Amino acid sequence: MRSYILLSEKQWHDELFMQLKDSIGGNWYRISDKAEFNLTRLNELHPDKIFIPHWSYIIPAEIFEKYECIVFHMTDLPFGRGGSPLQNLIALGHESTKISALRVVRGIDEGDIYCKRDLDLSGTAKEIFLRSVPEIASMIKEIIQEEPRPVPQRGDVVKFKRRAPSDSNVGQLKEIKELYNFIRMLDCEGYPNAFIENEHFRFEFTAGKIEDPNTISADVRIIKK
């Protein structure tokens, strides 16, 4: 019987794991802890494929050279290789994207492509991530059932830089739409929310809504320094 691993540290992929386990044959294992993702553990499970919808750490070469690791990246590769794809796309004004399923190799996001799916970028980061779940489920089913041969990436390479927490500071923004986009693209647990600060306080923004061309309403969390 074939075995598969779903690798993600995000809680919203628990439901994805249950969907896959219930709808696709084989033995399914869920790994969410970095300490558990090591060659010793994988040799015990001996997976045929490792599916990675979200993982914030580098995959060691000793793992991806022995096991077929497939990562899901939220850009139309080779456009958008690199970190923070969702945030970089929205900051650039994109309203839609593709999810690319690709083989993990030494180069960041340089692997061959198995398949792609369209994804709408409206709403908060959390809403977008949740919207991606059924698309990723469909892609995993296609990869297992149809066994497509991955093909090299084609097109101009555009690289994204991983965003730092300091990049969430909105103090220098001037346009309402730009501010709204910053609030929503960082509105998800595990991400540094959009913020401004002064000498004594930090103001963090979530649940942004454009009320009129000159007004945004939002929830504000105030932290004393």
Per-residue pLDDT reduced to its tens digit, 194-212: 999 999 999 999 999 999 9
Q: For the chain, give the percent of residues with pLDDT over 90.
A: 99
- Note whether 83 and 54 are within 8 A (CB): no
Our count of domains for the chain comes to: 2
Out of 145, 160, 175, a domain closes at 160
User: pLDDT averaged over the chain?
Assistant: 97
Query: Given this model, what pLDDT does residue 170 score?
Result: 97
Rounded Cα distance, 140 and 137, in Å:
5
Arithmetic mean of pLDDT, 142-171: 97
147 and 172 share a domain? no
Burial code (b: 16+ CB inside 10 Å, e: under 16) for 20-45 equals bbeeeeeebbbbbeeeebeeeebeee
Same domain, 175 and 202: yes
Beta bridge partners of 3: 27
Q: What is the pLDDT of residue 80?
A: 98
Check whether residue 60 and residue 89 sit in a common domain.
yes
Looking at the structure, tell me whether residues 86 and 12 fall in a common domain: yes
pTM score above 0.85: yes
pLDDT band at 143 (very low <50, low <70, confident <90, very high): very high
- Residue 154 and residue 172 in one domain: no
The Cα–Cα gap between 55 and 50 comes to 12
Domain with residue 220: its CATH number is 3.10.25.20
Indicate whether 199 and 89 sit together in one domain.
no
What pLDDT is attached to residue 103? 99
Contact 208, 216 (CB under 8 A): yes
Question: Which of 142, 160, 178 is the last residue in one of the domains?
Answer: 160
The β-bridge partners of 116 are 100
Question: Distances in Å between the alpha carbon of 81 and those of 67, 85, 189, 193?
Answer: 22, 8, 23, 23
For residue 6, the one-letter residue type is: L
pLDDT at 17: 96
**CATH number of the structural domain spanning residue 142:** 3.40.50.170
Across 120-134, average pLDDT:
98
The last residue of one of the domains, among 160, 186, 213, is 160
Are 132 and 201 in the same domain?
A: no
DSSP E strand stretches across the chain: 3-8, 27-31, 49-54, 69-73, 79-82, 96-103, 113-120, 158-160, 194-197, 201-212, 215-224
For 10-19, 67-76, 119-128, which range has the lowest pLDDT when averaged over its residues? 10-19
Residues 104 and 139 in one domain: yes
| 78 and 186, same domain (yes or no) | no
Domain coverage including residue 32: 3-160
* 171 & 99 share domain: no
Read off the pLDDT of residues 59-99 as tens digits, 9 standing for 90 and up: 999 999 999 999 999 999 999 999 999 999 999 999 999 99
State whether 187 and 104 are in the same domain. Answer: no
Q: Are residues 26 and 114 in the same domain?
A: yes
Mean pLDDT, residues 116-136: 98
